[in-house]
């Protein structure tokens, strides 16, 4: 297990970097976070669309006044 460090320790280390290296660090962290956050943990957009299409079919076959597919689309739009 990696050693845990505090945000303050990371900030102190980052402050020791040159400005170009600080920008590189920011860019790398942004890239990592973007990859983690994109498309339901890295699912490709087509996979997401396929899942939503299947949920549409289930919603049409289900009696009731809810629309779980629309709920998922609303949640995705917020993200």
Let me know: does 51 contact 58? Beta carbons within 8 Å.
no
Phi-psi region of 42 (alpha: psi -120 to 50; beta: other; left: phi over 0): left
Same domain, 32 and 49: no
Tens digit of each residue's pLDDT (9 = 90 or more) over 17-33:
888 888 888 888 887 77
Q: What is the mean pLDDT of residues 52-75?
A: 72
Same domain, 49 and 78: yes
Same domain, 54 and 26: no
Tokens of 39: 């498309």
Rounded distance, CA 40 to CA 51, Å? 11
* Average pLDDT over all residues of the chain: 77
Q: Which domain holds residue 60?
A: 43-79
Query: pLDDT band at 70, cuts 50/70/90?
Result: confident
Same domain, 48 and 71: yes
């Amino acid at each position: 297990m990696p050693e845990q460090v505090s945000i303050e320790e990371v900030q102190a280390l980052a402050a020791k970097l040159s400005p170009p290296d600080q920008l590189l660090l920011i860019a790398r962290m942004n890239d990592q976070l973007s990859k983690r956050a994109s498309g339901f943990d890295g699912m490709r957009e087509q996979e997401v669309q396929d899942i939503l299409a299947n949920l549409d079919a289930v919603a049409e076959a289900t009696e009731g006044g809810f629309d779980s597919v629309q709920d998922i689309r609303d949640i995705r739009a917020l993200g």
